[in-house]
Amino acid sequence: MSEARSQLPTSGGPTSNGPTSNGTAEARITAEAARRRTFAVISHPDAGKSTLTEALALYAEVIDEAGAVHGKSGRRGVTSDWMEMERKRGISITSAVLQFAYRDCVINLLDTPGHGDFSEDTYRVLAAVDAAVMLLDAAKGLEPQTLKLFDVCRTRGIPVLTFVNKWDRPGREALELLDEVEQTIGLRPMPLTWPVGVAGELRGLVEVETGEFRRYTRTAGGATRATAELVPADVIGAEEPQYWEAAQDELALLQEIGAAYDEKDFLTGAATPVLFGAALNGVGVARLLDALVELAPAPEPREDAGGDPRPLEASTSGLVFKVQAGMDRAHRDRMAFVRICSGRFERGMVLTHAATGRPFATKYAQAVFGQQRTTVEEAFPGDIVGLVNAGALRPGDTLYSTDLVEFPSIPSFAPEHFAVVRGADAGTYKQFRRGIEQLDSEGVIQVLTSDLRGDQAPVLAAVGPLQFEVVTARLESEFRAPVTLEHLGYSITRRTDAAGAQLLSGQSEVEVLTRRADGALLAVFSNKWRMETVRRKFEDLVLEPLPAGSER
């Protein structure tokens, strides 16, 4: 990784050591921000996200061996206990942040957890990106988790590029897949490349705009880069007359229906550029990187909590979007992932934590690349910095250097699963308490309390049940605090107020709990019908919906 970092092209601006006037420093920030591309890949599990992530990094010459990114089975680097759990369950919770150079850009690729139960975590990651790549399996098209994640992108106004993966094996027809995208999510597809040969018999890709055809030489298991060779139309036309003609007919049809690329429609979320390929063989991967560099938006001024855009050149500021501990046995510390929103970050600078007004030293600023960590000396808008020993930081928090700013916090989802957690061993109560506090502030799960239940029996509230597994596994392995869970029969959450809490006290199949993180009063109900009955009974009862996770 350190080699990779030293490969990052510079914009030629003054270095941090050189004397800089404000004007030059600002110009450098603008120039550096303009060449950042910060994005995430959204997909249903098994669509090939890990494979694509590795392939992208491989193309950018950051890593020289597929498998360096994730600790999946048969791949390198499973070290922590709960990574072991991820491996067993085939899920990924610990996400990686990859930074690499491609052409004259710096690409920041944020990984998202693959499983729907961690959609809250995904939502936080999406708060830190400027674009998303929607990855579809050519045989399956739009799958439930993709739809949910796409929904989040739409809500947040994130432009989406689409990559249709696994074209090397039998799947559906290209036109049918595009039609599904348009019909199901109302996003107009704008193909940039078009496959020659049906799924499973891919002969190569045509550039929709220029008509150029590229043939790919297969590589085994994505271990090296696929090589693309330009082949003249008459040659491929003679070699593969059937597939070539079919592709020409489809391209003519696309032209007729007006599927040409339109920048405004992409950026406003009305349409999506579409690319085809096979991540496993490296087909179409470099083309995807080109599309990201050429089309995806660079960081823009982020709106603060008052709705005012914070200029990119303003003093340093960043948004904490993820907090994670125990990522690796060798690094038991706790790390906050911060997206730089404005200014230039320099390691060692003292930032202010907006939520508490306390100073935060950044001596240990790191980049996390799979299992590896390297020191970050400086960063610009769009970059992600990992801050170690981030005890007080929570997802959604703002850090700033001189000019005060606070970005809107990241909303918590409506939990749908609840369980009372108790220390299984009275002798480990201290560890139990510390563990619960830690997992709460990392945002691994929501911790709710009530006067009735007391401190020894907090209620854990999750968007998806796998969150409970993570919590129990981590309490046991990291905090040496084995626990028991008593599942509660609630499934619906609404926000209420103090008057509401009073009205609801004593009602059956309802409970009002306080969320520790922000003091919000949450009314939880066994089901929708019970909630409606109670609502009808108390006319003035405040019940506000929260952002939905799996309900989406």
Question: What residues make contact with ligand G4P under the rule CB under 6 A?
Answer: 43, 45-51, 72, 74, 114, 165-166, 168-169, 278-280
* CB closer to ligand G4P out of 216 and 360: 216
Report the binding-site residues for GTP. Answer: 111-115
- Nearest approach in angstroms of CB 165 to ligand G4P is 5
Tell me 69's DSSP state: S
Residue 270's alpha-carbon distances to 154, 189, 250, 293, 429, in angstroms, are 10, 9, 22, 20, 53
* CB closer to ligand G4P out of 45 and 301: 45
- Nearest approach in angstroms of CB 185 to ligand G4P is 19
Residue 3's alpha-carbon distances to 61, 100, 377, 449, 515, in angstroms, are 10, 11, 14, 48, 45
Residue of 104, 123, 102 whose CA lies nearest to 112: 123
Residue of 307, 308, 385, 309 whose CA lies nearest to 351: 385
C-alpha of 160 from chain center: 13
Residue of 230, 248, 271 whose CA lies nearest to 194: 248
Strands 188-191 and 271-276, sheet pairing? parallel
The DSSP result for 486-522, as a single string, is EEE---EEEEE-HHHHHHHTT-TTEEEEEETTT--EE
Using CB positions, name the residue nearest to ligand G4P: 48
Q: How many other CB atoms are found less than 10 A from the CB of residue 288?
A: 27
- Nearest approach in angstroms of CB 20 to ligand G4P is 43
* CB closer to ligand G4P out of 74 and 427: 74
> What 3-state class would DSSP assign to 230?
strand
* CB closer to ligand G4P out of 47 and 419: 47
Residue 374's alpha-carbon distances to 10, 37, 128, 350, 366, in angstroms, are 18, 20, 21, 20, 5
- Nearest approach in angstroms of CB 4 to ligand G4P is 21
* One-letter identity of residue 501: A
- Nearest approach in angstroms of CB 274 to ligand G4P is 16
* CB closer to ligand G4P out of 123 and 216: 216
Residue of 437, 431, 428, 441 whose CA lies nearest to 458: 437
Residue of 21, 26, 20, 22 whose CA lies nearest to 313: 26
- Nearest approach in angstroms of CB 145 to ligand G4P is 10
Give the C-alpha separation, 134 to 131, whole Å: 10
Residues 6+ apart with CB under 8 A from 343: 29, 312, 313, 314, 315, 316, 317, 381, 401
* CB closer to ligand G4P out of 71 and 114: 114
* Three-point CA angle 51, 549, 391, nearest 5°: 80
Give the C-alpha separation, 295 to 456, whole Å: 53
Give the C-alpha separation, 95 to 109, whole Å: 10
- Nearest approach in angstroms of CB 149 to ligand G4P is 12
- Nearest approach in angstroms of CB 76 to ligand G4P is 12
- Nearest approach in angstroms of CB 469 to ligand G4P is 18
Give the C-alpha separation, 148 to 388, whole Å: 32
* CB closer to ligand G4P out of 46 and 180: 46
* CB closer to ligand G4P out of 172 and 188: 172
- Nearest approach in angstroms of CB 47 to ligand G4P is 5
* CB closer to ligand G4P out of 277 and 318: 277
* CB closer to ligand G4P out of 4 and 47: 47
- Nearest approach in angstroms of CB 464 to ligand G4P is 16
* CB closer to ligand G4P out of 190 and 280: 280
Report the binding-site residues. Answer: 111-115
- Nearest approach in angstroms of CB 126 to ligand G4P is 16
Strands 334-342 and 345-346, sheet pairing? unpaired
The DSSP result for 74-128, as a single string, is TSS---SHHHHHHHHHT---S--EEEEEETTEEEEEE---SSGGGHHHHHHHHTT
Residue of 529, 496, 530 whose CA lies nearest to 510: 530
Cβ-contact 154, 173 below 8 angstroms? no
* CB closer to ligand G4P out of 197 and 381: 197
